[in-house]
Amino acid sequence: MRVSVITFPGSNCDHDAQEAFAYYGHKSRLIWHKDRDLQNPDLVVLPGGFSYGDYLRCGALARFSPIVEEVMAFAKKGGLILGICNGFQILTECGLLPGTLLRNIGLDFICQHQYIRVEDNNTAFTHQIPEGTVMDIPIAHKEGNYFCSDEILKELQDNHQIVFRYCDKQGNINAEYNPNGSRENIAGICNRTRNILGMMPHPERAATPYVTSNDGGKIFAALEEYFNLN
């Protein structure tokens, strides 16, 4: 796969994402936010970090970067887009995903290992990962509290757009295992056409044997499987 990772001013997980995809044998490259050429990717990654210092609202200013116009056009054509953490926030600010990431309910910046459960595998990002699989993928954010209206929540549920939810090691989902106050323990959602995924956990930080968990690698492997089949 050809993977283009966008670097915004303030991105700090761009190199991690690029290296994780390279580790899985993909041709990954960094694209500066002022460029207007995505370089013909199979997948665009909006990485974690603090684009534009998180000024005004997280992700609000990044959507005016020149490359985002190209990302929007790529999305419209059905291109695969993965937004991780700040990338998820940018996707909601762009209107490519519904809802908003609010300040964590406990106000703290949370940086910890986190169990999430695969709720839906009808996406390129979770292709062939059995639903109900529990993965240990770290989170690191202060604004990860997913919020949406009741109407949008119903749409997400009806259209099976909730892809990951926070849980415990056994896959139980309740308020106790919700680290940030997200509605319905939501950790990741996709759009209706299922080509765009936003998630707060960082799969690129759990994708190589050098770190405690390799569960993020399941997402990289799923993408590869999906790509090879299509």
Partner 1 sequence: MLVAKIFVCLKPNVLDPQGKAVCNSLQQLGYTNVIEARVSKYIELTFDSDNEESTWKETDKICQELLANPNTEHYWFTLENKEESQS
Provide the binding-site residues for partner 1, judged by CB under 8 A: 56-57, 60, 92-93, 98-100, 102-107, 145, 147-149, 181
| 148 is known as an active-site residue | no
Q: Which is nearer to partner 1, 95 or 209 (CB)?
A: 95
Q: Which of 91, 87, 189, 102 is nearest to 144 (CA)?
A: 102
Q: Which is nearer to partner 1, 93 or 120 (CB)?
A: 93
- Active-site annotation holder among 26, 127, 141, 202: 202
CA torsion sign for 148, 150, 151, 154 is positive
165 near 186, Cβ under 8 Å?
yes
Q: Which is nearer to partner 1, 98 or 138 (CB)?
A: 98
Minimum CB–partner distance for residue 40 and partner 1 (Å): 31
- Active-site annotation holder among 93, 119, 143, 204: 204
How many CB atoms within 10 Å of residue 24? 17
Q: What is the dihedral of CA 6, 209, 222, 120, to 10 degrees?
A: -100
100-102/145-147 β-pairing: antiparallel
Q: Which is nearer to partner 1, 108 or 131 (CB)?
A: 108
In angstroms, the CA 172 to CA 177 distance is: 8
Minimum CB–partner distance for residue 36 and partner 1 (Å): 21
- Active-site annotation holder among 13, 58, 85, 148: 85
Minimum CB–partner distance for residue 151 and partner 1 (Å): 11
| 176 is known as an active-site residue | no
Minimum CB–partner distance for residue 5 and partner 1 (Å): 26
Angle at alpha carbon of residue 158, lines to 44 and 142, rounded to 5°: 50
Which residues are catalytic, by number? 85, 202, 204
